[in-house]
Amino acid sequence: MRYRTIGDVEVSAIGLGAMPLSIEGRPDRDRAIATIHAALDAGVTLIDTADSYHWHADEIGHNEELIAAALAVHSGSDAVLVATKGGRGRPGDGSWTVTGTPTHLKNACEGSLKRLGVDAIGLYQLHKPDENVPWAESVGAIKELADEGKIRLAGISNVSRAQILEAREILGGTLVSVQNEHAPAHLVHEPELTLCTELGLAYLPWGPLRGIGAEFRAVAGEHGVSPQRVCLAWLLAKSPSMIAIPGSTRPATIRDSAAAADLVLTDADLARLP
């Protein structure tokens, strides 16, 4: 496993995006916990979650509680950075809401602290800008949480270059990461990736496997690995700031994803990919 940094914390270059373990189509609890444990056994030391990663309206924080339970019975949990998020909701009908008021974000953080069973959250991320709330107010609430010692590091998600720069002015060195959609089928955030690389911010692409095409399958066949592993290695090759967080619902798939950290693609390989 290769490692990269989020702020001053060293983490595995491949993390676990835990959302699929709690939303629609999720596995049973035993398999979900086995998937988390398989990730840890494969060297994964970053788990990405959110209070809104749940299925039904009455189970806010399902994913956070699942992660806490899995970590509590695994010997390697001390090295894991759990990154959670606040600012979105799920009414239970499959839709997503956005609430970026300072009051909501502070209450959401309190709930996450309790469910994760920690005194301070390792990495707390503002899930999405709320068009009805000034960005500076939402980010300001994150700064207050950091000043109060409730979060150690801060991140922002689903953001533009301008929002990254504004958040950095407010948060200073506490801002350490950006999480945007980034995949073969979604490359519109290349400017944000470039900015994060320049600023030394970690970049966590969500949905990283969407749009794997024939070119990925061809390279995978030549290396004798899965197209998914090639896709994750391709993302890592884009920038030293990149830390991929693929989702998984089975131990076998997260083990395969974790192995992408050690797959080195040649210049010729990369020239054939988007």
Contact 112, 124 (CB under 8 A): yes
Q: Which two tokens stand for residue 127?
A: 């899930």
From the candidates 3, 53, 124, 203, which is the catalytic residue?
Answer: 53
Report the alpha-carbon distance of residue 162 to residue 237 in Å, rounded.
25
From its phi and psi, is residue 212 left (phi > 0), alpha (psi between -120 and 50) or beta? beta
Identify the CA nearest to 112 among candidates 83, 136, 132, 138: 83
Dihedral Cα 207, 210, 215, 217, nearest 10 deg: 90
53 is an active site residue? yes
In which element (H, E) is residue 237 found?
Answer: helix 227-238
Question: Which parts of 1-79 fold into alpha helices (H)?
Answer: 29-41, 62-72
The residues carrying an active-site annotation are: 53
